Amino acid sequence: MFDYIRDPMAIYAASFKAIREETDLTNIPESLHAITLRVVHAAGNPDVVENIAWGGDITKAADALKQGAPILCDAEMVSHGIIRRRLPAENDVICTLNMDSTPNLAKQIGNTRSAAAVELWEPWLDGAVVAIGNAPTTLFYLLEKIAAGGPKPAAILGFPVGFIGAAESKEALITHAGDIPFVTLRGRLGGSAMAAAAINALCAENEE
């Protein structure tokens, strides 16, 4: 009834061919090309490249994954978007948002469940790769914990989304990440698909 491409590999190839043709990577370091292209793919809009922001050497995130670092996610949607078979060291993918202790912990700290989930990251946070694709309070609280002397992750991929706090949390990341490598997208746009896409880009050499 409809004339459309049915071969998944052909769809994939055509998609990224179009993305490369339509995305201006002139001002993006080569080390960030893979992440940028996948974020563009997740957004469905090459114009988002203008709002990509970064700091530090993001290749340290890929190196950390190769060495077995866990991936800490703020939302189950981020976790489920990560392609497990491409992870270089069967890395643990951890989301503590729905742990039984999270709601009570949120009450104790006077913050959201998303922020409370960060408290539960502590056993894994040192040297981990953090992927945030939903809650601005996750990113704000993580930066507060680090500023207070908490463990530092190997990298932060910060893509919280929304109208309240998302843009501000990403500006806070840009300003206060210090020596922690990061990639983010300025403004309200973001989302779990972008955060997962950024992780998958770090594992691109393991694509089948």
3-state secondary structure of 73: strand
Rounded to whole angstroms, how far apart are CA atoms 138 and 134?
Answer: 8
**Is there a contact between 50 and 176 (Cβ–Cβ < 8 Å)?**
no
Two structure tokens written together for 131: 């992927």
In the annotation, is 33 catalytic?
Answer: no
Of residues 139, 153, 183, 171, the one with CA closest to residue 35:
183
Distance separating the N- and C-terminal Cα atoms of the chain: 31
Q: Give me the catalytic one of 33, 41, 80, 176.
A: 41
Helix orientation angle between 59-66 and 192-202, rounded to the nearest 10 degrees: 70
Residue type (1 letter), 67: Q
**Is there a contact between 170 and 189 (Cβ–Cβ < 8 Å)?**
no
Helix runs in the chain, H state only: 8-22, 33-43, 59-66, 76-81, 102-109, 113-119, 122-125, 136-147, 166-176, 192-202
Torsion of CA 49, 131, 195, 16, to 10 degrees: 80
Residues with a catalytic annotation lie at: 41
